[in-house]
């Protein structure tokens, strides 16, 4: 039996519940046990609760006397965690407790993920509900399931039962930065029609390969100036077109629609005598990419690898359509935020390309914290797709949480923070999805929202840790914020 290590760690209640959670398996999709734990908590504390079929749990606590007519507060966290471990470690996330250590100011799981994302948020919610000394308006604690695989739990949550006007999401990982808005946007799958014809076996075939890019999250890393392999490839092919007549046999790029593509390749067929011209283009662009990305993406490799042969090629019209479509699709930063220009407001990422039987399939992800921009980007994708006789399908569409410069909750947080620390807090607009996005569209009255949390590092990876002193400070801030509402 694993022994308890956090019994005396302040804030006592927060770490008590956090430690409880480390005993409960809670990988995304396996939330019944943790959901039942929350239900038992509510029962033990005599609190009204509702568990839905997705294992989301809502727990209510009535306002403290004197706070009955204040607007209610919704506190929100997710119960599931990302389960990653080091390769050489025996650990079964379906039954084994998370093994962690207390190392100076950190609670750290060295060989697995810790689940501080978002076990700390859940613990804040429970500690708040359990503590009768904190004065508060009516509380609704919304603890969702299956967040990490794409906000599945909250998408199925019944928002009509909520009464509160403030939302405090406790799923941020940087004490110094409070989130006040985040990006939404559709993931669009486009199919541009193609026709394949038999390949000319007298030609020589080469795979033009781009590898070695840094990649990253297509939202959170979009401002880092890294290359998009699909876009590099198209530049090389365009330059080839000017010098060489080639047949396009295949084109692929990227592995996940929500990541910046790290590699791409096109298989082309050429006449033997054109090989020197191809080599010259490869050499020229190797130099161009090395120069253009020498700081942000210095490992780019471009090469032409000989292939046995090819079965099919795209006919000329199809080849042009596909190359044009890829070339003319926007990618990268479209606009920066007006209030906070250090943050990206709108971006597009041309994620993946692959050739199917009768079409080229291209996945594009747009993100924007401004609904009108997100519509505009989407409209441009549709127009381009129509221009090339393609069809599009919206695979998922996360709404934006727009920043509200009039936010009372943000002002109250600033007051509490200044009073505690004598300085101003920082705010950010996250260029990725977060659960408050769902609140923003699914509740038909205007909600006032922020997202906060203590310092958690190496999230989603073995070695994840939460900083104890940071948890103390954020908990203090959180309590005072609740009392100020
Ligand atoms: Zn999280």
For the segment 68-92, the average pLDDT, to the nearest whole number, is 94
Give strand ranges (E) for 356-440.
359-368, 391-398, 426-430
Tens of pLDDT, residue by residue over 100-120, are: 999 999 999 999 999 999 999
Residue 45 is inside which H or E element, if any?
A: none
> What is the Å distance from ligand 1's center to 36 Cα?
20
Is residue 50 in some structural domain? yes
> What is the Å distance from ligand 1's center to 148 Cα?
7
412 and 370 both lie in a single domain: no
137 and 267 both lie in a single domain: no
195 and 164 both lie in a single domain: no
Is residue 6 in some structural domain? no
Say how many residues make up the chain: 485
Is residue 222 in some structural domain? yes
Is residue 292 in some structural domain? yes
3-class state of residue 275 by DSSP: helix
Query: How much is the pLDDT for 396?
Result: 81
Whether 459 has a pLDDT exceeding 90, the answer reads no
> What is the Å distance from ligand 1's center to 327 Cα?
35
Query: How much is the pLDDT for 194?
Result: 98
Whether 278 has a pLDDT exceeding 90, the answer reads yes
> What is the Å distance from ligand 1's center to 32 Cα?
18
For residue 62, give the CATH number of its domain.
Answer: 3.40.630.10
> What is the Å distance from ligand 1's center to 121 Cα?
9
Tens of pLDDT, residue by residue over 313-372, are: 999 999 999 999 999 999 999 999 998 898 999 999 999 999 999 999 999 999 999 989
210 and 177 both lie in a single domain: no
Is residue 3 in some structural domain? no
Contact 253, 265 (CB under 8 A): yes
Query: How much is the pLDDT for 229?
Result: 97
> What is the Å distance from ligand 1's center to 149 Cα?
10
Tens of pLDDT, residue by residue over 229-275, are: 999 999 999 999 998 999 999 999 998 888 899 999 999 999 999 99
**pLDDT-derived band of residue 80, with 50, 70 and 90 as boundaries?**
very high
**pLDDT-derived band of residue 72, with 50, 70 and 90 as boundaries?**
very high
Whether 217 has a pLDDT exceeding 90, the answer reads no
Tens of pLDDT, residue by residue over 126-154, are: 999 999 999 999 999 999 999 988 788 99
125 and 235 both lie in a single domain: no
> What is the Å distance from ligand 1's center to 309 Cα?
47
Percent of the chain with pLDDT over 70: 100
Q: Which whole-number Å values give the CA distances from 287 to 132, 265, 267, 284, 304, in the listed order?
A: 66, 18, 21, 5, 15
Mean pLDDT of the chain: 95
The parent domain of residue 238 ranges over: 185-398
215 and 119 both lie in a single domain: no
Percent of the chain with pLDDT over 90: 86
Decide which of 398, 421, 447 is a domain's last residue: 398
* Cβ neighbours for 79, distance < 8 A, ≥ 6 positions apart: 26, 31, 34, 35, 38, 55, 57, 118, 122, 143, 144, 145
Query: How much is the pLDDT for 1?
Result: 66
> What is the Å distance from ligand 1's center to 151 Cα?
10
277 and 232 both lie in a single domain: yes
Contact 174, 111 (CB under 8 A): no
> What is the Å distance from ligand 1's center to 265 Cα?
34
> What is the Å distance from ligand 1's center to 137 Cα?
25
Whether 85 has a pLDDT exceeding 80, the answer reads yes
Is residue 120 in some structural domain? yes
> What is the Å distance from ligand 1's center to 470 Cα?
17
> What is the Å distance from ligand 1's center to 445 Cα?
25
> What is the Å distance from ligand 1's center to 207 Cα?
40
> What is the Å distance from ligand 1's center to 295 Cα?
31
CA-angle at 480, arms to 124 and 41, nearest 5°: 30
> What is the Å distance from ligand 1's center to 91 Cα?
22
95 and 56 both lie in a single domain: yes
> What is the Å distance from ligand 1's center to 431 Cα?
15
Whether 210 has a pLDDT exceeding 90, the answer reads yes
> What is the Å distance from ligand 1's center to 93 Cα?
18
Contact 204, 275 (CB under 8 A): yes
For residue 290, give the CATH number of its domain.
Answer: 3.30.70.360
Whether 207 has a pLDDT exceeding 70, the answer reads yes
> What is the Å distance from ligand 1's center to 271 Cα?
54
393 and 316 both lie in a single domain: yes
394 and 267 both lie in a single domain: yes
Is residue 352 in some structural domain? yes
Decide which of 366, 398, 430 is a domain's last residue: 398
> What is the Å distance from ligand 1's center to 95 Cα?
21
Distance CA 304, CA 297 (A): 20
> What is the Å distance from ligand 1's center to 307 Cα?
45
Query: How much is the pLDDT for 381?
Result: 97
3-class state of residue 147 by DSSP: coil
Task: Tokens for 375, please give them.
Answer: 């519509």
> What is the Å distance from ligand 1's center to 477 Cα?
20
> What is the Å distance from ligand 1's center to 287 Cα?
41
> What is the Å distance from ligand 1's center to 108 Cα?
17
111 and 173 both lie in a single domain: yes
> What is the Å distance from ligand 1's center to 228 Cα?
27
405 and 393 both lie in a single domain: no
Q: What's the per-residue H, E or C state across 79-135?
A: CCECCCECCCCCCCCCCCCCCCEEECCEEECCCECCCHHHHHHHHHHHHHHHCCCCC
> What is the Å distance from ligand 1's center to 115 Cα?
9
> What is the Å distance from ligand 1's center to 47 Cα?
25
Tens of pLDDT, residue by residue over 418-458, are: 999 899 999 999 998 889 999 988 998 999 999 999 999 98
Distance CA 484, CA 73 (A): 11
Residue identified by tokens 């038992």 is 40
> What is the Å distance from ligand 1's center to 89 Cα?
24
DSSP string, 11-35: SHHHHHHHHHHHTS--BTT--HHHH
Decide which of 398, 413, 436 is a domain's last residue: 398
Number of domains observed in the structure of the chain = 2
Is residue 5 in some structural domain? no
């Amino acid at each position: 039996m694993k022994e308890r290590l956090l019994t005396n760690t302040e804030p006592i209640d927060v770490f008590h519940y956090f430690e409880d959670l480390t005993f409960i398996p809670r990988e995304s999709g396996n939330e019944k046990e943790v959901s039942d734990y929350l239900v038992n908590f509510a029962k033990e504390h005599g609190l009204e609760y509702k568990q839905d079929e997705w294992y989301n749990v809502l727990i209510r606590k009535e306002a403290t006397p004197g706070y009955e007519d204040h607007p209610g507060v919704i506190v929100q966290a997710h119960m599931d965690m990302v389960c990653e471990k080091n390769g050489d470690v025996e650990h079964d996330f379906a039954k084994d407790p998370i093994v962690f250590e207390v190392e100076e100011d950190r609670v750290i799981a060295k060989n697995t993920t810790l689940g501080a994302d978002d076990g700390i948020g859940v613990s804040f919610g429970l500690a708040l509900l359990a503590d009768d000394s904190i004065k508060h308006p009516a509380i609704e604690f919304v603890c969702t399931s299956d967040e990490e695989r794409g906000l599945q739990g909250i998408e199925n949550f019944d928002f009509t039962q909520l009464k509160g006007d403030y939302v405090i999401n406790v799923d941020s990982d940087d004490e110094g930065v409070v989130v006040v808005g985040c990006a939404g946007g559709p993931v669009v799958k486009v199919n541009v029609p193609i026709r394949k014809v038999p390949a000319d076996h007298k030609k020589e075939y080469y795979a033009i390969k781009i590898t070695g890019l840094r990649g990253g999250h297509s939202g959170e890393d979009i401002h880092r100036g890294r290359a998009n392999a699909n876009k590099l490839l198209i530049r090389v092919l365009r330059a080839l077109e000017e010098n060489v007549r080639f047949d396009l046999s295949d084109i692929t790029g990227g592995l996940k629609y929500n990541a910046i593509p790290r590699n791409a390749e096109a298989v082309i067929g050429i006449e033997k005598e054109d090989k020197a011209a191809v080599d010259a283009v490869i050499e020229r662009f190797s130099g161009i990419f090395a120069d253009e990305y020498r700081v942000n993406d210095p490992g780019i490799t471009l090469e032409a690898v000989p292939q046995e042969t090819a079965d099919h090629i795209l006919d000329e019209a199809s080849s042009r359509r596909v190359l044009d479509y890829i070339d003319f699709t926007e990618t990268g930063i479209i606009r920066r935020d007006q209030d906070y220009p250090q943050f990206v407001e709108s971006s597009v990422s041309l994620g993946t390309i692959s050739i199917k039987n009768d079409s080229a399939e291209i996945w594009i992800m747009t993100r924007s914290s401004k609904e009108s921009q997100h519509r505009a980007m989407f409209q441009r994708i549709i127009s381009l797709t129509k221009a090339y006789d393609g069809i599009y399908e919206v695979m998922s569409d996360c709404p934006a949480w727009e920043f509200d410069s009039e936010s009372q909750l943000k002002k109250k947080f600033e007051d509490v923070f200044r009073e505690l620390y004598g300085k101003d807090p920082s705010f950010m607009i996250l260029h990725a999805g977060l659960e408050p996005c769902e609140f923003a569209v699914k509740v038909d009255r205007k909600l006032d929202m922020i997202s906060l949390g203590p310092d958690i590092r190496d999230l989603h990876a073995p070695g994840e840790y939460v900083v104890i002193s940071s948890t103390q400070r954020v908990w203090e801030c959180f309590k005072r914020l609740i009392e100020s509402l």
